[in-house]
Amino acid sequence: MSERARPADAGREAAMRAKQGLTGIKLTFVYSGVQYDQKELLEAISKELPNVPAH
């Protein structure tokens, strides 16, 4: 979860929080508000969680 205004910052923060204490992540499901540019948000999440599909 993130309350950051910029999509890239929000995606990065949410992904960092999601992976804390986890290993072997296989898939992520992303829910967000319409205020975010979805492409930019998913790109940031993918950079933080490489090789993990984000849907």
Q: What are the sequence ranges of the domains in the chain?
A: 7-48
Half-sphere exposure for 22 (CA within 13 Å, toward CB):
13
pLDDT in tens, the chain (55 residues): 788 889 999 999 999 999 998 889 999 999 998 999 999 999 999 999 999 998 8
Residue type (1 letter), 42: L
pTM of the model: 0.85
Contact 45, 15 (CB under 8 A): yes
pLDDT at 54: 83
pLDDT score for 49: 94
Positive or negative, the Cα torsion across 13, 18, 19, 25? negative
Tell me which amino acid residue 38 is: Q
